[in-house]
Amino acid sequence: MKKDYSQYIKHLIAVDCIIFGFDGENLNLLLVKRNFEPKKGEWSLVGGFVNAEETLDDSANRVLTSLTGLENIYLEQLKCYSELEREPTARIISVSYYALISTDENIRINEKYSAKWFDLKQFPNLIFDHNKMVQNAVTRLRYRASTQPIGFELLPEKFTMKDLQSLYEVIFDEKYDKRNFISKINSMDILVKTDEKDMTSSRKGSFLYRFDKEKYHKKLSQGYLFKI
């Protein structure tokens, strides 16, 4: 006999996405200006309700693609927010995700969202509990970046050592000695040095590298531990 659940209260389920991007100098956050009440005109994370035919992951991917035009973005479920009065209009339970986007990608921001990139250190106050979501996402990003090579998701396919060092410095909000950083990265043996150079940094230029995913996964299967 089927269980009758009609007596139980039904709640709304939403997803909210914390989208990080790296412009070569700063770690940035993609926000949207809310175009409906409550909090109309204020800055918000992008989000939406979970449709009947969707999983949470499906919903988050749909929201991201709708905003950026991108698919197959690095996306990780972060945390569930279920405080009783987190939104004034209804009981809405939200599951947050954080996403990493390389600004080298062909991003086509959907104009209906009035979206804008903000420096992670200087973004406006956000609606509801979205500030807390961002704080939690930064904590998770730092943990993941210290134990997995997810930082490469924020870089173009080919990058300089300076780009890589700058990225990790902004993620962890600290400065590294150039020589020690390069030595540590080279010791990992997961990068491929190309014959190409970035000629914008100096007359001599800087060699471009790419992350070797196959080599990394092979080393991982042999017990390798990534650590920054």
Q: For 191-226, how does the pLDDT look when each residue is reduced to its tens digit (9 = 90+)?
A: 999 999 998 877 888 999 999 999 999 999 999 999
DSSP for 86-134? SSSSS-EEEEEEEEEEETTS-----GGG-EEEEETTSPPP-STTHHHHH
Residue 120 lies in a domain: yes
Asked which of 100, 118, 147 is the last residue of a domain, the reply is 147
Answer yes or no: do 39 and 133 share one domain. yes
Q: Would you say the pTM of this structure is higher than 0.85? A: yes
Answer yes or no: do 62 and 167 share one domain. no
Can you tell me the mean pLDDT for 79-97?
95
What pLDDT, on a 0 to 100 scale, did the predictor assign at position 111? 84
Range of the domain at 178: 155-221
Output the domain CATH number for residue 203. 1.10.10.10
Number of domains present in the structure of the chain: 2
Per-residue pLDDT band for 15 (boundaries 50, 70, 90) equals very high
Q: For 145-155, how does the pLDDT look when each residue is reduced to its tens digit (9 = 90+)?
A: 999 999 999 99
**8 Å CB contact between 16 and 47:** yes
Residue 34 has pLDDT above 80, yes or no: yes
- Residue 134, both tokens: 């961002």
Q: For 211-220, how does the pLDDT look when each residue is reduced to its tens digit (9 = 90+)?
A: 999 999 999 9
